[in-house]
């Protein structure tokens, strides 16, 4: 038997998937997309869940509980957006150690309720338990999509245009800034954190937003992407998911990827190659989608949606750098 670390996260999910069979005809899409798709006859329900573990996904030394609550909602909503769906309900389960008091739980739920307001979803249940150490938060989300609007990871066709929302790399640089401040604070607790001029990056890391605005704009323009997913693990990793799901290859032009100046400046300051921050850095929670060429005119008015590449006919995935140099996008390691 292979070792768990050899398999990696995605290998493990593939293994679980291969051991799973769907019995109910209503289980339209199971493991492998951003959300499961349940056939309700008149429409599809969408179901997704995400787990956040203290010390793995967040560090309370710099992640305010209120922001954490908001983020827990946003990252789940993001997976419904990635199916072109509308989120409706969430459940929230928490495990907390006796290190935390009532005020801490209130702060967490303040953020959760803000997230529910922002995305128009209802908190309808959950579970509460003790933990030996730290906080674990698990959110599940239920959404809806009409049958003609469902978008899977697999639907791209050759020559489709690859587009991304917002800008990339900011959340990755945000966590670098927060880590640096934490180390400086540990060395000198009287020091005041210097975060004001990095607030965009830090905000993207601590309190990302799901791009429901883009889902509504696409609907207004009558455009249904051919494939879509959200960027949680980083552009390179998500390109490989879209590629595997569709059997197609993608060509991405680095030059076309929207990157904030602050992201570039900060990567220089930290001696980090911007390609690493933008292509491999995760947690942007932007949407990555393919659209038909004929829809391009229609999406031009959507300001925060940028073409960054296309579906090639080589079945290989390429990143074309500004210099013209072409490198193959390869599988990332275990996280």
Q: Which residues are annotated binding-site positions for substrate?
A: 57, 283, 318
Q: What is the largest CA-CA distance in the chain?
A: 61
Angle at 102 between CA 100 and CA 106, to 5 degrees: 105
Question: What CA–CA distance (Å, rounded) separates 124 from 102?
Answer: 21
Of 8, 11, 32, 126, the residue at the interface with ligand ADP (CB under 6 A) is: 32
CB of 28 to ligand ADP, least distance (A): 13
Strand ranges of the sheet holding 287-291, from the earlier edge strand across to the other edge = 227-230, 287-291, 161-165, 305-312, 249-253, 318-320, 326-328
Which residue, 147, 166, 311, 286, is CA-closest to 229?
286
Number of residues that bind ligand ADP (CB under 6 A): 9
The tokens of 305 are what? 């949606």
* 79 is a site residue for Mg ion (CB under 5 A): yes
Strand ranges of the sheet holding 36-39, from the earlier edge strand across to the other edge = 27-29, 36-39, 44-53, 136-145, 86-96, 122-130
* 33 is a site residue for ligand ADP (CB under 6 A): yes
Cβ atoms of 121 and 92 within 8 Å: the answer is no
> What 8-state DSSP symbol labels residue 58?
B
Annotated binding site for Mg(2+): 34, 48-50, 79, 127, 230, 233
Residues 18-37, one symbol each (x = binds Mg ion by CB under 5 A, - = not), give ----------------x---
Piece of 4-12, 78-86, 186-194, 267-275 that binds Mg ion (CB under 5 A): 78-86
CB of 50 to ligand ADP, least distance (A): 6
Of 79, 107, 167, 295, the residue at the interface with ligand ADP (CB under 6 A) is: 79
Site for Mg ion in 220-249 (CB under 5 A): 230
- Choose the one of ligand ADP, Mg ion, none that binds residue 209, judging by a C-beta under 5 to 8 angstroms depending on kind: none
- Choose the one of ligand ADP, Mg ion, none that binds residue 33, judging by a C-beta under 5 to 8 angstroms depending on kind: ligand ADP
CB of 189 to ligand ADP, least distance (A): 36
Dihedral (CA of 299, 305, 310, 311) sign = negative
Residues 38-67, one symbol each (x = binds ligand ADP by CB under 6 A, - = not), give ------------x-----------------
Question: What CA–CA distance (Å, rounded) separates 83 from 40?
Answer: 16
Catalog residues that contact Mg ion under the rule CB under 5 A. Answer: 34, 79, 230
Catalog residues that contact ligand ADP under the rule CB under 6 A. Answer: 13, 16, 31-34, 50, 79, 232
């Amino acid at each position: 038997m292979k070792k768990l670390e050899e398999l990696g996260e995605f290998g493990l999910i593939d293994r679980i998937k291969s051991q799973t069979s769907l019995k109910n005809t209503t289980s339209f899409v199971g493991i492998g997309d951003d959300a499961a798709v349940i056939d309700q006859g008149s429409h599809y329900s969408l179901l997704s869940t995400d787990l956040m573990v203290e010390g793995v996904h967040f560090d309370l030394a710099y992640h305010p509980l209120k922001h954490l609550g908001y983020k827990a909602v946003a990252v789940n909503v993001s997976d419904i957006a990635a199916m072109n769906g509308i989120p409706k309900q969430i459940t929230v389960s928490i495990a907390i150690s006796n290190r935390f008091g009532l005020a801490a739980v209130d702060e967490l739920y303040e953020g959760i309720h803000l997230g529910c307001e922002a995305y128009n979803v209802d908190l309808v249940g959950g579970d509460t338990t003790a933990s030996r150490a730290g906080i674990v938060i698990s959110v599940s989300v239920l959404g809806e999509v009409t049958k003609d609007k469902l978008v899977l990871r697999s639907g791209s066709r050759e020559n489709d245009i690859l587009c991304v929302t917002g800008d990339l790399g900011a959340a990755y640089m945000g966590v670098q800034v927060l880590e640096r401040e934490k180390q400086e604070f540990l060395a000198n607790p009287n020091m005041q954190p210097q975060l004001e001029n990095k607030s965009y990056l830090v905000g993207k890391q601590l309190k990302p937003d799901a791009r429901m605005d883009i889902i509504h704009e696409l609907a207004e323009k009558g455009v249904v992407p051919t494939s879509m997913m959200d960027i949680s693990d980083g552009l390179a990793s998500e390109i490989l998911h879209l590629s595997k799901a569709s059997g197609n290859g993608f060509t991405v032009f680095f030059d076309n990827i929207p990157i904030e100046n602050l992201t570039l400046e900060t990567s220089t300051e930290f001696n980090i190659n911007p390609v690493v921050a933008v292509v491999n850095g995760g947690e942007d929670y932007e949407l990555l989608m393919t659209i038909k060429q004929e829809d391009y005119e229609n999406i031009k008015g959507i300001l925060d949606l940028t073409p960054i590449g296309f579906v090639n006919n080589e079945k290989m995935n390429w990143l074309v750098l500004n210099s013209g140099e072409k490198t193959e996008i390869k599988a990332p390691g275990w996280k």
